[in-house]
Amino acid sequence: MARRFGAGRALGLLLLVAMVSLRIIDPVPLEGLRHRSFDAFQVLKPRDDTVRPVVIVDIDEWSMARFGQWPWPRALLAELVTKLKNLGAVAIAFDVIFSEPDRMSPATFARSIPNLDSTTRLKLIELPSTDQIFADALRGSKAVLGVSGLPHRTPQPLIPLPLTGLATIGGDPKPFMFDYPGLLRNVPELEKAATGRGVFTIKTEADGIIRRVPMVMQVQNNVMPSLSFELLRAVVGADTFLIKSDENGIKSVALPGFEVPTDRNGQLWVHFARHDQKRFVSAVDVIEERVNPNAIARKLVLIGTSAVGLLDIKTTPLDPVVPGVEIHAQVLESVLTRSVLSRPNNAIAIELIAAVVVSLLIIWVAPIFGPLFLLVSGAVVAMISLGASWYYFSYEKTLYDFTFPILTTFSIYVLITFFSYISEQNQRRQIRSAFGQYLSPALVEQLAGAPEKLKLGGEEREMTIMFSDVRGFTAISESFKSDPQGLTSLMNRFLTPLTNAIINRKGTIDKYMGDAIMAFWNAPLDDAAHQINACNAALDMIDCITVLNEERRAESEESGKPFIPMNVGIGVNTGNCVVGNMGSDLRFDYSVLGDSVNLASRIEGQSKAYGVPIIAGSKTALSVKDKFAILEIDFITVKGKKEPEVIYAIAGREDVASSGKFQRIRNLNIEMLACYRSQDWEGALLALDKARLADGSSAYTTLFDLYESRVREFMVNPPPPDWDGVFALQTK
């Protein structure tokens, strides 16, 4: 039963359990990924702010230059409040705290001057307190003062803080609220005169970005509303606000006419609009009566600061720098325009269920279908998840996380695919073992005649290296998953003629790597024509594969089985290498090392991308240019190397090189590359069109398509001025 279930499926189930546990723990990186996805939605579709019921009266740099540094005299603030009321402001809230008596109050000022004559001091002491003047102005308006929750405990005030009434539906919401043991409050005289008091403390996310704003908090064991929510309460004239909660946490906070959905901690997900200076009115313009009355009339007014020196600067998903007071304005605009976002308390359960269901489906079908089918299916599931999340954000104003289901299912897909790859590699090792005795006869004879060579060490010499690999071996292997002996037989049929082609051209088989072959020339015996022999061997190998595919096609037609052709990519490169017996004292192999070996491997891996079966490095190609048809295909840097290399296709022998068709293709290709490297994009496209017409057999369609794609991309996004035509390969 366990064997039938499969080790890959068992590993998938273990990973699924681990991912679900990780989501329950919800570490900061996972939370950050989720938040970034919500940020992306807001960037793509910010809140429409054409209706602006809120205006910010800004204590900006110009205002402080006119009236002096903050804090201003309370008499000046009283004048500001009075003028806002006269301009038709519906209600006013302060995103600043007046925690100490005004030092510019006449009596306080008189006592601070030691040499003031007694008559003047007495007159100043008899003048009204500026705090009282400010309190009178607040009393005549709907005004809300801000207070701040502190993370450290502070003494309970002698004069109790006036509190807003509270009603609850459901369970006790206090355990879910942010709890501040300390409080920074205003002068009691001002708090008594104000219509309300709200907490403007905002808890940023782990990355410093503000996405949620608490609507209710617990401060010194008292439940208090936020500044913005208290301002709404003052506007509607309610004596209390309502909190709805259940066993999972807080669901919403409500006032007559408004119900604001929150997360379990009582925080509102803010639907941000772009920062716009039109939302602001300078305080100096209000005081000096230069403001348009329509900017204030019938609006809620927030008084705060954008001055950098006052350190009230925040970051939102849309803007890296905004004044803190604007956060409260955006909250009010979202609520008043019915554009608030919500993330239901059951969202986590829904996301977990989606991740588990799709993951179980992948675990079940992965051994049945191939990786390509799973990849396409996974992409479809990912698009559905993303589309559903976008729909709910755009039309329902609801936040659902698509990243966790996609991350979970993709991780399981990668694990199962990797496990299948390891299993396939084990199968390849069996094939490799069967062919491990294939060596160059010259090497066997030399070792038999000189056993002392069987020791560690090597010598440096110029060599030509070849790598070959089967294209699409995974698909071929899967077609034999119920017949492993058939796969072994096929690999024997495949590797035998290729090995003979190499050995017949004086090459040495270094090793077999599953379906891949590594070979070299000019060792252990000298070979003055090692570049020519290597290129001839590569062309012979292509001919052998053609013959083998014809035989297999006929066999498939007779048996009624599907036919999957075998194609190889070959990389050939010449350079200095170290060759000899390498390994340990107990086990060693006659092998070759060097940068030229790595380059041969890298260019072999690019044969599919360029659509040519044989690619050679520049030193090889230029050494054989008089014997073979060579076609320059690119100027590249391979992964892991900084020095660029010109690479060529080996298209055939002298008969192909002398044909008029190949010469025309080669000339047009040279013209195209010259235009491409000089950034003459139109010229390059014209040369490509001509080359396609010349290439009647479509042998170079992939190459020409690749360059057309690059040219058109560069026409839209031109390369930098110092571009030298080098293309950096991103894969091995």
Radius of gyration of the chain (CA): 39
Tell me what the mean pLDDT of segment 382-390 comes to.
88
Return the pLDDT at 165: 86
179 bridge partner residues: 218
Residue numbers of the domain that contains 154: 79-336
Supply angle C-alpha 373, 376, 378, rounded to 5: 105
Phi, psi of 531 (to 5 degrees): -65, -45
**What are the start-end ranges of the E strands in 12-139?**
54-58, 91-94
What is the rounded distance in angstroms from the CA atom of residue 643 to the CA atom of residue 619?
Answer: 14
Look at residues 612, 630, 653 and tell me which one is the last residue of a structural domain: 653
Return the pLDDT at 444: 52
Do residues 365 and 477 share a domain? no
Q: Which residue has the tokens 């355990």?
A: 175
Look at residues 629, 653, 677 and tell me which one is the last residue of a structural domain: 653
Do residues 541 and 684 share a domain? no
CATH number at residue 541: 3.30.70.1230
pLDDT one-digit tens code per residue, 655-702: 999 999 999 999 999 999 999 999 999 999 999 999 999 998 788 999
Do residues 375 and 231 share a domain? no
**720 DSSP assignment:** P
pLDDT one-digit tens code per residue, 257-269: 889 999 999 999 9
pLDDT one-digit tens code per residue, 304-339: 988 766 667 889 999 888 888 999 999 999 999 988
Do residues 158 and 220 share a domain? yes
Phi, psi of 292 (to 5 degrees): -70, 125
428 in a domain, yes or no? Answer: no
Lowest mean pLDDT across 68-72, 272-276, 625-629 = 68-72
Regarding predicted confidence, which is higher, 62 or 640? Answer: 62
Closest CA to 465 of 646, 566, 615: 615
The total number of structural domains that make up the chain: 4
Return the pLDDT at 729: 79
Return the pLDDT at 432: 42
Return the pLDDT at 487: 81
69 in a domain, yes or no? Answer: no
Do residues 709 and 586 share a domain? no
61 in a domain, yes or no? Answer: no
Tell me what the mean pLDDT of segment 551-564 comes to.
87
Do residues 649 and 678 share a domain? no
Regarding predicted confidence, which is higher, 441 or 548? Answer: 548
Say if residue 434's pLDDT is above 80. no
Do residues 600 and 622 share a domain? yes
Say if residue 642's pLDDT is above 90. no
The pLDDT mean for the chain works out to 86
Name, in order, each residue with C-beta under 8 angstroms of 621's C-beta and a sequence gap of 6 or more: 630, 632, 646, 647, 648, 650
pLDDT one-digit tens code per residue, 111-147: 667 776 666 666 666 677 888 999 999 998 899 999 9
Say if residue 559's pLDDT is above 70. yes
Which of the four pLDDT bands, split at 50, 70 and 90, describes residue 586?
low
Q: Is 155 exposed, middle or buried (0-12, 13-18, 19+ CB in 10 A)?
A: exposed
β-strands 182-184, 196-199: how paired?
unpaired
163 in a domain, yes or no? Answer: yes
Do residues 645 and 663 share a domain? no
Do residues 102 and 191 share a domain? yes
- Which region, left, alpha or beta, applies to residue 611 given φ > 0 means left and ψ of -120 to 50 means alpha? left
Distances, alpha carbon 521 to alpha carbons 260, 380, 546, 571, in Å: 77, 48, 24, 13
What is the rounded distance in angstroms from the CA atom of residue 93 to the CA atom of residue 194?
Answer: 10
Q: Is 565 exposed, middle or buried (0-12, 13-18, 19+ CB in 10 A)?
A: middle
Do residues 386 and 298 share a domain? no
Tell me what the mean pLDDT of segment 6-32 comes to.
85
pLDDT one-digit tens code per residue, 454-487: 444 578 899 999 999 998 777 788 777 777 787 8
